[in-house]
Each structure stands twice: as C-alpha cells, then as structure tokens.
C-alpha cells in the first residue's frame, strides 16, 4: 500500500516547516536566543490538551488502524506527520477528556492526494462536527468550530481515509470566542465572507496554559524548547512561533468583534513592557506565544533587533481602540501600558528626530539602514533610505489623538489638551509643508536621510497617509485616493496578500464605500491562492486576512465606533452600491450585546439585546436633513462635520431589551 505519496519536487516545494502551534510575522533574520520581557503571571494548565499534536513523538497519544502511521517524507511542521493510505475504513484518532465546561475549535493542517477524506470531531461517540476534505496536495488549515464540552465529556479527534492519501499534522485547540457574531444581508457574498472569517480568525486563538514550542522559524524548525502559552492569537507567518506588532495592530479590531479582549490586552501589554530605555523606547517586534520572551529570529540584542517606527505609534492607537471595545480600565491604570503611551508619544519622538528639520514640530525618524537598525516605513522592500515616511507620520498623528483620548478618560484634562494640540500642529505642518505642493502621484510620501523628497508609489507609506486621516479632506486627498486605487489595481499591486488587507480600511475611512467593498472582495476571492511565501500556505491561512475582514465588516460597512467606557456607540451606514441591507447580531461592546441593521444609508435599527447599563446611540446619516424620525416620531435635526463630511444625527438612549429605529425624512 502507498504511503502519502506526492511527487518529490512537489513535496520539496510545498514543505512547510512548522512545529505544533507555530506562527510569526514579516521580518526575517538569523535565529538568536531571546531575552525575557516583563509579563503577567503564567496561566494555569490548559483545561483540554492534545498529546503529541505534531506527531513528533511518533504514535504517542494517537490510535492508528492498519494502513496508517507516522512518516517523515512530507511534514507540515518539524519532522513528522500522520498519514492514511487511500481507501476506506482507515483512521488516525485521539480521544481527550474535558476537565471542565467549555467550547472549543479544533484545527489541523491537512494535505490530500484525492477527495472524500474526513476530518471529524465526536463527543461521547456522536459526531459534533465533520468536514469532507477536497483534493489538495498543499497543506491547508481546517477547523471544526464551536464544539461544546461538559466536564467528563470525551472528545475524539479523527482523520479518516478517502479516495487518495491523507496527511495530517499540527493539531491545535482554541477556546471558542466569547462572541459569536452573525451577519445577514441582501448580499450573500458578505454573509459567506463573514462566516468564513470568524471561523478562520478564531482558529488562531491559543488556549492559555497550552504547552508549545518557542523560537520556531524557517532556520530552526524544532525551536529552542517549550513554554506555556498565554492568552494570545497568531499574527504573522505560519512558520514562526510568535506574534508581531504590525500584524497584531491590524488584527485588533477583528479580535474586538470576537470579544477577544483578554488576548488583545495580554499582547499589547507584552509590547508595552518591552519598550525600555535600553531599546530607546522601541517595543520588541515579535514575541513568542508565552507573551514573555522575544522571538529570537527578530531579536539579537538591545541594540540589534527589528524595529519599525509606525509600529510604536500604532500600538498606542490600538490600545485606545481596545479600551473602547472592552471598557477595561487596565488600559488607563496598568503602569506598563500607561508609561508606554507616555514614552512613545514623548521621549521616543525626541530620541528619533535628528535628521530632518521640521520646524516647530517633531517627527520620529528611521535610520535609513534597514529593519535591524530602525526603519521609518513598513515597506521593507523599497530599498529607499528613508528618514521620514508617510506611514510613520500618519501613525504618529493617530498616536497623539489616542493619547489625548486616554488622558481625558483618565481625568487628566491638561495632558489631553497638550496632545490634542500636538496632533493639530502635526497635521497642520503635514498638510502645509511635509507633503509638498503636488497632487496624486506628485504628493510627497517620504524623505530620505539626505533630505530628498520622494513621490510616486510607496505602498504602505502611500496608503497609510489617508488611512490614518492625516491628509486634510478635499481635492488633494481625493486625487491621492484615486492614485492609490489605480496603482494597487495595476502595476503597483503588492504581491503579498497582507499588504492588500489595508486597502479596505483606507477607502472606508475616507467614505469610498464601493472601493472599500471592492478590496474586501478582492482579498477574500484570493484566499485560496498560494501565498508568495511558500512556507506560509494559502493566502487565507495568513491570519491577517480573516481578522481584518471581520473588522472591516463592522467598522467599515456597518460604520460602528464603540465606546464601552462611556456606554455609547456611533454608527453610520457605509453600504456599497447593490447591498440593500446588512445586519449583525451578537455584536459585543463592553458587557452589552447589540443587533444592528442598516437599510441603505437612510435607516438604521439598533437592539440592545443584553447588558447592565443604557447606551447612548449616535445614529449618523451622511447629508443634511430637516428632521430625523426616532421610532416614527419626527425630531429636529442636528448636524456635525466629521473629517469633511456633514452628518445629520440623533442620540437616543437604548436601554437593555429595547429596539430603536432612526431614519431620515
């Protein structure tokens, strides 16, 4: 009988050297031991554990029928895999007993030489979830979602044979997300997209207390040992055992939609604690999933580690956003977090501003010498010796706004005023001087270390400028958005899917609804294409894809801005042409749950399904209307201008259990 046969060249081309539960991010380097970083106490042992999830201990923990076994010819991670020969009746399985009550996702990387294999979970002998596998000789990640277990329940995880060989590797248990949001719509595409995204995103969440490898990368597939994983989720490449600041920052809103508040806080805090004076207030670029040790491939010493200016500022902005989603006062009261915000928006800027004279404002700079010496831009492939870049200065602007918001929430009005002034001054300087006088492709998007202004297409240092809303509204911003869309749709299209995941955010935040939706569909429609990094797998198995599609549905299409600390939220419909209505259920903000439906751009309905406090709902509608009706009762209109757009709005109070409809006219 054959044993998981694939052509030799194909096997070599598709080899994905992971160990169980390994992932990481973008920048690469020679593997190096990583020092410890301050973190919260280690979690308790996991309540559910798979023995030998990557088959590196051979048959230990698993049951094998005839025609199955452990091989080394085509592993997904490290050195071994389980195989099933073609034919019927063969199975590789493990049964584990639940120590407590919980709901779990079970994921595995599987490759097949033919269709009709099965991946199945049984609880006490009854099928709880099952997938029929397609023919796909490259490894893909499959997930059995939301399997509920009571204490003493026996969970069987089984790989079952089909028409061709089946290879299985790297099994992972994830806790089901606290929220299970559901989308319905006149457009079936968004329903399909959201359902796939929430299942895929949740499959990357680690079960705290799980033992897993540390410092796994393409040069050291076995890692440097094991550690206890803390609350975290994958954010980066699928052949490294860590999460990255850039990826995590972009995934945070999608994690907020799933109410992964513990994970967001744990990961943000790890970065915050690493931004030490020895690092000149740069946070570490990547952490292992224990959230306490730096990922060694990106860290050599306190003066030689990967660092990119925009990440420092994005982590401040994303901490403020996590606070708005969760309402957790730790974002104000935890000294590690608070000191990070202060240093990142003060000393960090001063220490890294010395190459270009920016007059009365300060702009944080890179060295122009590469990622291990500090780069100004996320565009690692440009080769340009950048001192200042559009993505860095735009992120600095948003960090100032976030610091002002956090300070005001903390009750420090003077500090909030100071940072609002810094944000206002930086934006005024940017629009009057920094971006030059050109429009479209002639707009400046960076400066080299010798003072040359750069125009044209810069990928991240182009689209981050409107995405971070540092460009003033008006014709120049509109022309630049046109330029971005043209480049990304044509000769400037990035080859890596994770770069494209920023484009929906860029266009939704600038009220280009149809273009934002176009790029959401583009990203989703390429999810089954092989990633440009062959070790990564398919595009859809890059975590940023699923997490960002979740955030873009809620914050983009539905226009939700949460404010859990103030028991408030605002909404505005950004439905594109052809999408008549869109609804979400089980939308969690703080300790409340909502349903929200938009009908076009003129009618919105909010239900406060559960919670402990009334919420103030700012229901916005683009344009000027004489009246709005709230549950059929006309009310005098109020208007406001937000980033150049005039909205008519109402602010009803929505108590728990109540549904309110607001519409124009």
Mind listing the pLDDT tens digit for each residue in 347-374?
Answer: 999 999 999 999 999 999 999 999 999 9
User: Does the pLDDT of residue 9 top 90, yes or no?
Assistant: no
Question: Which pLDDT belongs to residue 41?
Answer: 63
Report the range of poorest mean pLDDT among 39-53, 77-91, 453-467.
Answer: 39-53
Range 525-540 burial, b when 16+ CB lie within 10 A, else e: eebeeebebebbbbbb
User: Does the pLDDT of residue 19 top 50, yes or no?
Assistant: no
User: Does the pLDDT of residue 211 top 60, yes or no?
Assistant: yes
Mean pLDDT of 180-205: 98
From the list 536, 20, 76, 24, the residue with the least C-alpha distance to 293 is: 24
User: Does the pLDDT of residue 102 top 60, yes or no?
Assistant: yes
Q: What 3-state class would DSSP assign to 538?
A: strand
User: Does the pLDDT of residue 506 top 60, yes or no?
Assistant: yes
From the list 555, 551, 569, 655, the residue with the least C-alpha distance to 607 is: 655
User: Does the pLDDT of residue 508 top 70, yes or no?
Assistant: yes
> What are the tokens at 527?
């999810």
Helices (H), 241-372: 245-257, 261-274, 309-326, 330-333, 335-344, 347-351
Question: Which pLDDT belongs to residue 2?
Answer: 33
Mean pLDDT of 308-330: 98
Mean pLDDT of 293-312: 97
CB atoms near residue 49 (< 10 Å): 16
Question: Which pLDDT belongs to residue 238?
Answer: 84
Question: Which pLDDT belongs to residue 610?
Answer: 98
Report the range of poorest mean pLDDT among 216-220, 246-250, 389-393.
Answer: 216-220
Question: Which pLDDT belongs to residue 221?
Answer: 86
Mean pLDDT of 523-527: 98
Per-residue pLDDT band at 13 (split at 50, 70, 90): very low
Per-residue pLDDT band at 44 (split at 50, 70, 90): confident
Q: What 3-state class would DSSP assign to 622?
A: strand
pLDDT tens column, 565-618: 999 999 999 999 999 999 999 999 999 999 999 999 999 999 999 999 999 999
| Contact yes or no for 664/603 (Cβ under 8 A) | yes
Question: Which pLDDT belongs to residue 382?
Answer: 82
Task: Say what the pTM is.
Answer: 0.93
Per-residue pLDDT band at 6 (split at 50, 70, 90): very low
Per-residue pLDDT band at 40 (split at 50, 70, 90): low
Long-range CB contacts for residues 299-307, cutoff 8 Å, separation at least 24: 299/32, 299/34, 299/35, 300/29, 300/30, 300/32, 300/372, 302/276, 302/278, 304/372, 305/279, 305/372, 306/27, 306/29, 306/371, 306/372, 307/279, 307/282, 307/283, 307/371, 307/372, 307/374, 307/375
Per-residue pLDDT band at 11 (split at 50, 70, 90): very low
| Contact yes or no for 436/444 (Cβ under 8 A) | yes
Mean pLDDT of the chain: 93
């Amino acid at each position: 009988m054959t044993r998981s046969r694939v052509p030799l060249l194909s096997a070599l081309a598709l080899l994905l050297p992971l160990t169980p539960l390994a992932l990481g991010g973008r920048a690469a380097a020679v593997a190096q031991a990583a020092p410890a970083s301050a973190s919260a106490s280690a979690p308790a042992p996991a309540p559910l554990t798979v023995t030998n999830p990557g088959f590196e201990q051979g048959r230990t923990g698993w049951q094998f029928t005839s025609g199955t076994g452990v091989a080394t010819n085509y592993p997904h991670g490290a050195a071994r895999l389980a195989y099933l020969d073609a034919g019927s009746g063969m199975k590789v399985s493990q049964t584990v007993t639940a120590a407590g009550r919980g709901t779990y996702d079970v994921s595995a990387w599987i490759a097949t030489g033919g269709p009709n294999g099965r991946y199945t979970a049984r609880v006490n002998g009854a099928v709880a979830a099952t997938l029929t596998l397609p023919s796909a000789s490259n490894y893909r990640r499959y997930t059995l979602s939301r399997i509920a277990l009571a204490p003493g329940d026996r969970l069987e995880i089984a790989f079952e044979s089909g028409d061709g060989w089946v290879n299985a590797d790297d099994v992972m248990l994830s806790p089901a997300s606290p929220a299970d949001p559901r989308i319905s719509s006149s457009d079936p595409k968004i329903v399909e997209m959201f359902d796939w995204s929430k299942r895929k995103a949740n499959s990357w969440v680690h079960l705290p207390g799980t033992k897993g490898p540390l410092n796994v990368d393409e040069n050291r597939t076995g890692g440097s040992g094991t550690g206890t994983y803390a609350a975290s989720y994958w954010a980066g490449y699928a052949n490294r055992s860590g999460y990255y600041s850039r990826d995590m920052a972009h995934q945070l809103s999608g994690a907020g939609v799933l109410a992964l508040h513990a994970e967001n806080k744990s990961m943000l805090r790890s970065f915050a604690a690493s931004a030490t004076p020895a690092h000149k207030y740069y946070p570490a670029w990547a952490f292992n999933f224990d959230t306490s040790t730096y990922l060694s491939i990106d860290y050599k010493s306190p003066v030689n580690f990967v660092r990119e200016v925009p990440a420092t500022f994005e982590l401040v902005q994303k901490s403020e956003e996590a606070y708005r989603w969760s309402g957790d006062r730790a974002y104000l009261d935890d000294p590690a977090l608070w000191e990070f915000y202060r240093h990142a928006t003060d000393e960090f800027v001063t220490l890294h501003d010395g190459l270009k004279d920016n007059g009365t404002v300060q702009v944080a700079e890179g060295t122009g010498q590469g990622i291990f010496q500090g780069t100004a831009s996320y565009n690692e492939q440009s080769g340009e010796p950048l001192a200042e870049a559009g993505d860095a200065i735009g992120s600095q602007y948003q960090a100032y706004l976030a610091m002002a918001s956090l300070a005001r929430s903390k009750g420090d009005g003077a500090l909030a005023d100071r940072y609002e002034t810094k944000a206002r001054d930086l934006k005024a300087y940017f629009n009057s001087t920094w971006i030059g006088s050109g429009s479209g492709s002639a707009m400046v998007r960076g400066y080299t270390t010798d003072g040359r202004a750069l125009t044209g297409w810069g990928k991240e240092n182009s689209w981050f400028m409107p995405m971070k809303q540092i460009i003033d509204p008006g014709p120049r911003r509109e022309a630049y958005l046109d330029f971005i869309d043209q480049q990304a749709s044509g000769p400037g299209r990035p080859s890596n899917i994770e770069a494209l995941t920023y484009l929906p955010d860029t266009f939704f935040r600038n009220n280009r609804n149809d273009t934002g939706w176009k790029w959401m569909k583009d990203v989703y429609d390429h999810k089954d294409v092989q990633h440009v990094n062959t070790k990564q797998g398919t595009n859809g198995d890059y975590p940023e894809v699923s997490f960002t599609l979740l955030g873009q549905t809620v914050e983009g299409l539905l226009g939700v801005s949460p404010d859990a600390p103030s028991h408030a939220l605002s909404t505005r419909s950004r439905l594109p042409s052809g999408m008549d209505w869109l609804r979400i259920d089980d939308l969690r903000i703080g300790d409340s749950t909502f349903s929200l439906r938009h009908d076009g751009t003129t009618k919105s309905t909010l239900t406060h399904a559960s919670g402990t406090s009334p919420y103030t709902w700012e229901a916005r509608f683009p344009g000027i209307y004489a009246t709005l009706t709230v549950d059929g009762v006309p009310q005098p209109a109020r208007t406001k201008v937000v980033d150049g757009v005039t909205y008519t709005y109402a602010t009803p109070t929505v108590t728990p259990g109540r549904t309110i409809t607001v519409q124009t006219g």
